Amino acid sequence: WTSGTVVDAENSLAELAALAETAGSQVLEGLIQRRSQPDAATFIGRGKVDELKAAVESTGADTVICDGELSPSQLRNLEQKIKVKVVDRTALILDIFAQHAKSKEGKAQVELAQLQYLVPRLRGWGEALSRQTGGSGRGGGAGGGVGLRGPGETKLETDRRRIRTRIAKLKREITAMGVIRDTKRAGRLRNTVPSVAIAGYTNAGKSSLLNRLTGAGVLVEDALFATLDTATRRTEARDGRVYTLSDTVGFVRHLPHQLVEAFRSTLEEVGHADLVVHVVDGAHPDPEEQVRAVREVLAEVGADRLPELLVVNKADAAPEEMLLRLKREWPDAVFVSARTGDGIDALREIIESRLPVPAVEVLACVP
């Protein structure tokens, strides 16, 4: 469902399909409905539900993924009508984050976000719950098969209590891990090592750029969300100054609020950077929209006050007219290709010129 233009909806749906493939699904068909607002009961309108049911039957699909966040009752109603599992964008994104989280802190943060998403949707999700709390990390949407009845009230209450206990424990653990990270950060600050955070929409080429700039072997994947945990590399400017470059969590449109909350501490790392290198995919059909989405998240963690250097990546793959348009729109942006290496030296120079000048330390020598 969309209230915007069909082109916007198509872009968003293409991204949803890419997300679903990243999560390991095979995408069979896409359906778009334009209406001024979602249907209160079933998200999409009645006629569209029939169309969707027919599509599900003809393709043999076992899951429907909706582009948006459905209320618990919309999810339940739609599942009852079309008789296959219904997952929303939020559950899908949570699922991918769960699959890709590597660090202990990242895993705990995703589990917390999943449980927070799950709590209001508990009714009828008994099966999903046992898997969730078992920590296997499959997304909330993976739960409850066709027509799965809700657990009895008593079981539901026990489940709720277990989840709340788990949520409280995770929050304590995350706070504790945050303290360790803050200590490390304080150490870096004391050493006055300038830091550069690479932010940008997911798949914009942040890892590739980090590789190019530092020569380090960071994982690069043509999948959304290859990067979940921040990777920090030390590198040296031509004048010998050392600085750090960190790759950050991939941003995505409609990043579930549970995740923004869960990743706040990770994202706050960005808030302490001396410079934010904001990478944009110049070959994407709508780079401006991606920039808006990223800036929104940056603002949420207070990183919108930091100096930002806009870098348009994938210049090798972007059409000439697009590059001209973006140059007009963002005259101060640097155009590069992490793939071919074009513009990288110039970018490195600009980054280095924007690093804070180190304070001069005066050492008093006592004879």
| Site residues (CB under 6 A) for ligand GDP, limited to 261-300 | none
CB atoms near residue 37 (< 10 Å): 7
Q: Residue for token digits 């100096």?
A: 307
**Residue 110 neighbours by CB under 8 Å, 6+ apart:** 94, 97, 98, 101, 137, 259, 262
Spatial distance between the Cα atoms of 367 and 352, rounded to a whole number of angstroms: 38
CB of 22 or CB of 132, closer to ligand GDP: 22
Residue from 28, 339, 344, 354 binding ligand GDP (CB under 6 A): 339
CB of 64 or CB of 267, closer to ligand GDP: 267
Q: How far is the CB of 221 from ligand GDP (least distance, A)?
A: 5
**Contact status: 230 vs ligand GDP (CB under 6 A):** no
How deeply is 199 buried, as exposed, middle or buried, from its count of CB atoms within 10 A (0-12, 13-18, 19+)? buried
Amino acid, res. 258: Q
Q: How far are the Cα atoms of 120, 123, 128, 287 from residue 148, in angstroms, in the given order?
A: 17, 10, 11, 42
Structure tokens at 42: 């079933």
Q: How far is the CB of 290 from ligand GDP (least distance, A)?
A: 11
Q: How far is the CB of 335 from ligand GDP (least distance, A)?
A: 10
Tell me, by CB under 6 A, how many residues bind ligand GDP: 21
**Contact status: 245 vs ligand GDP (CB under 6 A):** no
Q: How far is the CB of 183 from ligand GDP (least distance, A)?
A: 27
CB of 222 or CB of 332, closer to ligand GDP: 222
Binding track over 176-215 against ligand GDP, x by CB under 6 A: ------------------------x-xxxxxxx-------
User: Are 199 and 270 a contacting pair, CB within 8 Å?
Assistant: yes
CB of 159 or CB of 308, closer to ligand GDP: 308
CB of 38 or CB of 205, closer to ligand GDP: 205
**Contact status: 316 vs ligand GDP (CB under 6 A):** yes
Residue from 229, 313, 335, 351 binding ligand GDP (CB under 6 A): 313
Residue from 128, 338, 347, 351 binding ligand GDP (CB under 6 A): 338
Q: Which residue ranges make up the site for ligand GDP (CB under 6 A)?
A: 200, 202-208, 220-222, 226-227, 250, 313-314, 316-317, 337-339
